[in-house]
């Protein structure tokens, strides 16, 4: 009990707030106070004051200030992943609360990694809703492990997964390929592809969503985990840090446009290919609405050139 009271008092004295965490992330992404403040809808003086208060509370300098903007200190880069995790957990709390209210026949609940839902689901959902009138689609975003657990527990009706196991039924809807992103001017930039061994001494900056895809895929195919020094919120932040020479990154061929300023993308040799699947608790007990959604996803898959798997 004494230990618990100590923790409570320590937290109670903290004045850290959501805006400060959002600002920390925005400053890494934007590189200056003006753009960072605009992105989180506060004024530039308010942003400067918020950062100063956060640094005073933590007792460390989070950013180097200069004429050309701001860059994270070692402490700032380290705090970045913690800020992202806190905001992510808050988002999941809101999403789960919404999911608890949506157990109705006219709502289809989908689970997905943020990286996949942003690009992959849009066309499939649009096609599905054009056929089925009045059905609302709720997307719950989380880690790969969370999406799997949501499928098994019934929190979501369908989930997008990259690795399958016997606890769920799944159908492949497309395939993707891992790429490596390196700073322009890197010694490997002149290559047309890279072997995993070429990267054995490289440090990586990787987005949380991309890590959720890349690490299980690499391990399942017998490759080691990359030496990840920084885990950040999204690919844009990772690319910004790669551009600054803080490491390499992992990218998805399907989900990137291969047009990154000062960052080159290369395939692996041999190529690292992985499946993207729709998972459900059971095809046999799936509702007609879920089956129709899967059929529409398979229609989309065929248009993309993938072979259709017969499941119903």
Q: How far apart are CA 237 and CA 279, in angstroms?
A: 30
Residues 66-106: pLDDT tens digits?
Answer: 988 999 999 999 999 889 888 878 877 775 665 555 444 57
Pairing of strands 136-141, 263-267: unpaired
Q: How far apart are CA 278 and CA 286, in angstroms?
A: 12
Q: Is the peptide bond before 206 cis (omega within 30 degrees of 0)?
A: no
CA dihedral 282, 285, 289, 292 (to 10 degrees): 60
Q: How far apart are CA 88 and CA 260, in angstroms?
A: 26
Q: How far is CA 305 from the centre of its chain?
A: 26
Instruction: Domains for the chain: give ranges and CATH numbers.
Output: 2-89 (1.10.10.10), 106-312 (3.40.190.290)
**pLDDT given for residue 9 in this prediction:** 45
Query: How many Cβ atoms sit within 10 Å of the Cβ of residue 134?
Result: 6
- 206 close to 226: Cβ distance less than 8 angstroms: yes
Three-state DSSP at 188 gives coil
Residues 25-72: pLDDT tens digits?
Answer: 999 989 999 999 999 999 999 999 999 999 999 999 999 999 889 999
Q: Is the dihedral of CA 94, 100, 106, 112 positive or negative?
A: positive
Residue 66 β-bridge partners:
69
In this prediction, the residues of the chain whose per-residue pLDDT falls under 70 are 1-15, 95-105, 118, 257-259, 306-312
Exposure pattern of 40-58 as b/e (b: 16+ CB <10 Å)?
A: bebeeeebeebbeebbeee
Question: What's the predicted TM-score (pTM) here?
Answer: 0.64
Look up residue 310 and give its two tokens.
């017969």
């Amino acid at each position: 009990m004494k230990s618990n009271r100590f923790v409570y008092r320590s937290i109670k004295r903290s004045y850290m707030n959501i805006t400060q965490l959002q600002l920390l992330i925005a400053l890494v992404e934007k590189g200056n106070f003006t753009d960072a403040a605009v992105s989180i809808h506060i004024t530039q003086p308010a942003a400067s004051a918020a950062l100063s208060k956060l640094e005073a509370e933590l007792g460390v300098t989070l950013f180097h200030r200069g004429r050309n903007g701001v860059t994270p200190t070692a402490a700032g880069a380290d705090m970045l992943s913690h800020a992202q995790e806190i905001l992510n957990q808050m988002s999941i709390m809101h999403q789960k609360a919404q999911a608890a209210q949506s157990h109705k026949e006219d709502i289809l609940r989908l689970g997905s990694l943020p990286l996949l839902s942003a690009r992959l689901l849009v066309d499939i959902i649009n096609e599905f809703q054009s056929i089925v009138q009045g059905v609302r689609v709720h997307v719950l975003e989380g880690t790969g492990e969370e999406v799997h657990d949501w499928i098994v527990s019934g929190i979501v009706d369908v989930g997008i997964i990259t690795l399958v196991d016997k606890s769920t039924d799944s159908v492949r809807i497309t395939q993707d390929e891992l790429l490596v992103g390196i700073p322009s001017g890197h010694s490997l930039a002149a290559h047309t592809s890279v072997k995993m061994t070429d990267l054995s001494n490289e440090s990586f900056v990787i987005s949380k969503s991309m890590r959720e895809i890349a690490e299980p895929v690499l391990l399942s195919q017998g490759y080691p985990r990359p030496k990840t020094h920084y885990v950040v919120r999204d690919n844009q932040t990772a690319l910004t840090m790669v551009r600054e020479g803080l490491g390499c990154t992992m990218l998805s061929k399907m989900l990137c446009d291969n047009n990154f300023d000062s960052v080159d993308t290369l395939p692996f040799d041999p190529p690292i290919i992985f499946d993207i699947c729709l998972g459900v608790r059971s095809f046999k007990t799936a509702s007609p609405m879920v089956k129709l959604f899967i059929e529409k996803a398979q229609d989309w898959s065929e248009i993309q050139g993938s072979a259709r798997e017969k499941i119903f």
